[in-house]
Structure 1
Amino acid sequence: MPKLTLRALASSIAGLIALAALPATARAVPEPRAPEEFVALRDIAPSILQEMRYPTAHNFVGEPVDGYHRPMCILTRPAALALRQAQQRLLARGYTLKVYDCYRPQRAVDHFVAWAEDLRDQSMKDEFYPRVDKTRLFEDGYIAEKSGHSRGSTVDLTIVRLPVRPTRPYHPGEPLRSCYAPQRERFPDNSIDMGTGFDCFDTLSHTADPRITGEQRANRLLLKKTLEAVGFENLPEEWWHFTHQPELFPDTYFDFPVERRSLTP
């Protein structure tokens, strides 16, 4: 073998050894950044409440979800501006919006998929899917490998009556209460009564389920009509799920983490 090749090989080996010796932070691939069309909702509509569930353990997975580095709502600018319009309409009526989830990184969706495939993990069943067998989560459409949230124009939200009542934090390991139980029996949430809690894997969460009547139905319709008036479309299977139309990125599933530094300064 020519000496030059031997020297090149030795140099490559030395380079690999030097790279392995670097701290993990020095070797890490930089995180992807959001396109400039993405904004923090708090910068656009600071009066909208944010109770971001997936950076916490109070969700159907039972632990903080991958990619949620901070409890903040990120959306495309048109979606955020439309939410500001909806908020102004509700404030005039004595209400405020509250968001549970906004942009969702693809790695978070992957976390959901891995959790759904682990049939041994049933830790949050009693609250979020009491009547659904975990083997059916994909077939019934509760979990999928792609989510519209990752495109940046979809939001999960509810309505809270003013003045806002504080709610206590969730304590991991506490007794769980069914998401479709009467409101006074569910985990405390300052939302007006929508008939189920957020992320309730049950047909009762279908926006127009005929079993939801009276005040609960009126509350769902208030949310739906208010958001439709500013350009959102509801997902019929989830009263809390709305997508602003037209989407800026209808075919792109982003994976930048949820944190301030993902956004363009």
Structure 2
Amino acid sequence: MKQLRELTPLLPEGTIVDLKYATSDNFTGEVLYTGEDTVAKLLEPAAYALAYAAQLMIKPGLFLVVWDAHRPVEAHNKLVAFHKGPDNYVLDPDKSMHPKGLAVDVTLADKNGNLLDMATGFDRFGSEAHDGAEGLSWQQQMNRKLLKEFMKEAGFVVWPYEWWHFNFVGFPPNR
């Protein structure tokens, strides 16, 4: 079995880890992660790649905020059962990268810990959360683009339906 790696020791100072499913601040309104599941983890290559992305963000005065990482299958099944919308928002566990430790939900914060305006929050299901959504302000578009560029540099690609969701695909060939 591949090794999951705890994120916090790898991430630069200033990174915020706020696992939304370890709290009731998510679309279910329930705490889904308890015990060991409240520790943010990814498969080792993805964990190191995320640390690299977080390091890139520091120079322009930004910090990574981690909302979700590896998701236990049991918790993922609860999300599938709870979600009543289109399937492309909460995939079955065999299709989702979260239970595999290869997906992360993130955003950006400024040096004071204030979240950058991305037009929607976490777990907002609808077209305004899509990558490339129309009707966003110029600043919201630029904030999303910046996050996407940092994550791409580290080997992550954005999920088309959620601007905050990134799947690890590996470091680009030129890295």
Which consecutive unaligned segments of at least 5 residues does structure 2 have?
none
1:112 deviation in Å? 1.4
Supply the distance in 2 between the matched residues of 1:54 and 1:86 (Cα, whole angstroms): 23
Aligned partner of 1:143 in structure 2 is 90
State how far apart, in whole Å, the 2-side matches of 1:74 and 1:40 are: 4
1:3-82 mapped onto 2 (5 Å cutoff): 35=1, 37-47=3-13, 48-65=15-32, 67-69=33-35, 70-82=37-49
Q: How far apart, CA to CA, are the structure 1 residues paired with 2:106 and 2:76? A: 18
**CA distance in 2: counterparts of 1:101 and 1:68, whole angstroms:** 14
Residue correspondence of structure 1 range 1-265 to structure 2 within 5 A: 35=1, 37-47=3-13, 48-65=15-32, 67-69=33-35, 70-116=37-83, 134=84, 137=85, 139-146=86-93, 147-164=96-113, 190-246=114-170
Higher Cα radius of gyration: 1
Superposed structure 1 runs of 4+ greater than 3 Å apart: none
Q: Could you tell me which amino acid in structure 1 is paired with residue 89 of structure 2? A: Y
Q: Give the letter aligned to residue 148 of structure 1.
A: M
Name the one with the larger strand percent: 2
How many matched pairs? Answer: 167
Query: Does the 8 Å contact 2:12/2:54 carry over to 1?
Result: no
Percent identical: 34
SS of aligned partner of 2:162: coil
Q: Which amino acid aligns with 2:168?
A: H
Aligned to 1:4: none
Tell me if the contact between 2:49 and 2:154 (Cα under 8 Å) persists in the aligned partners. yes
Matched to 2:165, the amino acid is H
Displacement of 1:114 in angstroms is 2.6
In the aligned structure 2, how far is the partner of 1:84 from the partner of 1:143?
Answer: 26
Paired with 1:191 and 1:163, the residues of 2 have a C-alpha distance of 9
Structure number with the higher helix fraction is: 1
| Cα distance, 1:46 vs structure 2 | 4.7
Q: Displacement, 1:110? A: 1.2
In 2, the alpha carbon distance for the partners of 1:92 and 1:145 equals 38
Deviation for aligned residue 1:107: 0.4
**Is this contact kept in 2: 1:50–1:72, CA < 8 A?**
no
* Separation (CA, whole Å) in 1 of partners of 2:2 and 2:76: 23
Higher normalized contact order (CA 8 Å, seq sep 6+, divided by chain length): 1
Tell me how large the CA RMSD over aligned residues is. 1.7
CA distance in 2, matches of 1:58, 1:102: 16
Are the counterparts in 2 of residues 161 and 191 from structure 1 also a CA contact under 8 Å?
Answer: yes
Distance 2:87 2:101 in 1: 24
Tell me which amino acid in the other structure corresponds to 2:76.
V
Paired AA for residue 116 in structure 2: I
Normalising by structure 2, we get a TM-score of 0.88
Return 5+ residue gaps in structure 1 as ranges.
1-34, 117-133, 165-189, 248-265
The answer to whether the Cα contact below 8 Å between 1:50 and 1:73 also exists between their aligned partners in 2 is: yes
